[in-house]
Amino acid sequence: MRYGEALRINAQPALEGSRKRDIHLVCGFTPLHFETYLQAHLNLHFPGDEICVHTGLFNDLEGNLRRACETGSDGIVLAIEWSDLDARLGLRASAGWAARTLDDILAQVEEKTKRLEALLAAPGRATPVALIAPALALPPLVNLPPGQCSPFELQLRATLATFVSRVCGLSGVRIVSDHALAASSPPPARANPKLDLSAGFPYTLPHADAAAALCVPCLFPAESAKGIITDLDDTLWKGILGDAGSEGVTWSLEGKSQAHALYQQLLASLAGSGVLVAVASKNDPALVREAFARPDILLQPSQVFPVEAGWGAKSASVARILKAWNIGADAVVFVDDSPMELAEVKEKHPQVECLRFTPDDPAAILELLYRLRSRFGKSEVREEDRLRLASLRASAALEEAHSSEAPADFLAGLDARLTLEFANVAGDGRALELVNKTNQFNLNGRRFTELEWESYFRQPGAFAITVSYEDRFGPLGRIAVLAGRLAAERMPEESGPAVQCQVDVWVMSCRAFSRHIEFQVLKRLYEKLGAGNIEFAFETTPRNGPIEAFFGRMVTAGRPRQGLELPAADFERTCPPLFHQVIEKWTTSEKNLRSAFP
């Protein structure tokens, strides 16, 4: 991006009523053009929003970080340079480069990184952080020629690496990739000594642009895709299964088909992190089962569901897979070696991202693997991610069993166990992840930043119920979140009529449908509160039909309004028989939340 373009982007006014986003740019140098580029890339990422980039004091990285963490914002960009760790590592200091000072520099850098780590690890920090490690070359401090690495430099970089690896494990801290930065900003083209000495800004314009461009998606990652559908012949393996047989297809270096092995390895890795993997192939199902039974296959059959093998159109197979997964087509990638098959699927499912596997072009295959890793990348893999495939298999088994049993008898025999965790704190992040990713059973489609989610629970009477589920088909993990507020005038420490409640957030994973979990959650909430009615901040969205239908069967008007009150009598009249074993847990701080739910 050219600097003039960045200025034009920043000059565009925010839309009326748009959201304000506060970002702290924390650095020790003069932010100057980096601030401009960062704001421009934030404007592109959040079009129409009001973007406010806050900077700090010159040469006070530590103080700027402390103030940013204490103030709170939507995000922090922490740009560290060598001179922030010790002024003698920059061009603006005149403290001497004598050999005897090198040990002192190492000691100072180690001490500074420990203090920075303590700030990032401070309890209560809810703001996400994108960290850029020092990107500029060190000045020529040592007596060795520049082409030879010195023990001092190795120790310095080891200290930095230790610091970065430790803070990378902290909640909400994300490290900008050195490799990605080098791809768009080669190291020799990063430094601007003239501007550094005259204005305290050390970067060239292209480097400032590249660094800002990487910081924004690192700080605000795009929602990852959920499922990948793959072809088999000349895609998952080399060869045509129907011609070569299950022993004749290959995926190995010896078989000159290592590209297929790399693809299988990536799919197996993605499956291990909760990505859904399915097969859509024009093949004999029996031969496909034989091929997946080979002991040397890298993508295990237990990691694939469903397998659509037959002779019909690939688009029809994709449709059945989408139905089995119960996710939107825009969260799915389809990979095939045939341009015709890709075009046929794209015509019927335009929201599916269709990518070609080119087995004779290893460079293109490697590029495809990086693209898939980017599309499915996530900052954290939770236990619920690993349970996703098993829960889908369980849902399929449940649906099959359900079709042959009366609903009440079937649900009664599930041996279902619900764990309801009542809390007045934000929790470990799984609840927020559910709120921000769930679409179909979603009260109003509202999304939260980490800071907004933390702030929600600072309101008087705020609480959340996180729901976990397990039955004879296996565990689903945490699958639902309900968050609301008790009426301030009827908090538990006061005497008076029954407690009333406003529910602002209610989401449930589609994996948990058809088990009456939503009824059990409301039943418990009414019972705990003793409430005559509960208010729901319901709003219709393009995709929340299931929760609208849920309310529609209970409200007397037939169709739920934008915001509704649901009397306990209407709920009890329409609530079906429930057979869950319910376990309650409590996580509270300060006020006694449990006394509000006797």
End-to-end CA distance of the chain: 59
Give the separation between CA 392 and CA 403, rounded to whole angstroms: 17
Element (H, E) at 481: strand 474-486
Q: How far apart are CA 263 and CA 270, in angstroms?
A: 11
Q: Report d(CA 317, CA 461) in Å as an integer.
A: 49
Nearest to 236 by CA among 75, 357, 141: 357
The three-state secondary structure class of 59 is coil
How far apart are the C-alpha atoms of 143 and 148, rounded to whole Å?
10
Length of the chain: 598
Helix (H, G, I), strand (E, B) or coil at 490: helix
Rounded Cα distance between 152 and 103, Å, is: 8
- pTM (predicted TM-score): 0.75
The H or E element that residue 79 is part of is strand 75-79
For residue 333, give the H/E element and its range: strand 332-336
Task: Report how far Cα 327 is from the mean position of its chain's Cα atoms.
Answer: 16
Q: Which domains does the chain have, with CATH numbers?
A: 3-219 (3.40.50.1110), 227-376 (3.40.50.1000), 405-596 (3.40.630.30)
Q: What is d(CA 99, CA 97) in angstroms, rounded to the nearest whole number?
A: 6
pLDDT of residue 493: 47
CA–CA gap between residue 238 and residue 144 (Å, rounded): 52
CA nearest to 128, candidates 84, 72, 80: 72
- At 345, list the tokens: 């699927």
Instruction: Kindly give, in sequence order, each residue whose CB lies less than 8 Å from that of residue 495, ignoring residues fewer than 6 positions away.
Output: none
In sequence order, what are the beta bridge partners of 584? Answer: 420
Instruction: Select from 519, 317, 306, 505 the least CA-distant residue to 407.
Output: 519
Location of structure tokens 């705990």: 528
Q: Are 268 and 299 in contact (CB under 8 A)?
A: yes
Burial class (CB in 10 A: 0-12, 13-18, 19+), 370: exposed
Nearest to 239 by CA among 291, 199, 303, 168: 291
- Cβ(126)–Cβ(179) below 8 Å: no
Point out which residues pair with 129 in neighbouring strands: 76, 173
What is the pLDDT, as a whole number, of residue 207? 98
d(CA 458, CA 8): 39
d(CA 306, CA 280) in angstroms, rounded, equals: 9
The interaxial angle of helices 205-219 and 3-11, nearest 10 deg, is 50
Question: Cβ-count burial of 581 within 10 angstroms (0-12 exposed, 13-18 middle, 19+ buried)?
Answer: exposed
Identify the helix (H) or strand (E) that includes residue 24: strand 20-26
Distance, CA of 9 to CA of 37 (rounded, Å)? 10
Sequential DSSP letters for 385-402: HHHHHHHHHHHHHHHHHH
If residue 105 lies in a helix (H) or strand (E), which one and from where to where?
helix 102-120
pLDDT tens, residue by residue, 43-58: 999 999 999 999 999 9
Q: Among all chains, which residue has been given the structure tokens 């239908």?
A: 549
Residues in the chain predicted with pLDDT less than 70, given as ranges, are 381-406, 488-499, 557-558, 588-598
Per-residue HEC secondary structure of 208-261 comes to HHHHHHHHHHHHCCCCCCCEEEECCECCCEECCHHHHCCCCCECCCCCCCHHHH
Cis amide leading into 306 (omega within 30): yes
Within its chain, how far is the Cα of 48 from the centroid?
Answer: 23
pLDDT of res. 492: 47
Q: Residue 431 in contact with residue 462, Cβ under 8 Å?
A: no
pLDDT of amino acid 490: 46
* Rounded Cα–Cα distance for residues 272 and 320 (Å): 23
Three-class SS of 262-299: HHHHHHHHHHHCCCEEEEEEECCHHHHHHHHCCCCCCC
CB atoms within 10 A of CB 40: 25
What pLDDT shows up at residue 296?
Answer: 96
Q: What is the SS3 assignment for 486?
A: strand
Residues 536, 443 contacting (CB under 8 angstroms)? yes
> Which residue has 């847990």 as its token pair?
585
Among 216, 172, 99, 80, which residue's Cα sits nearest to residue 451?
172
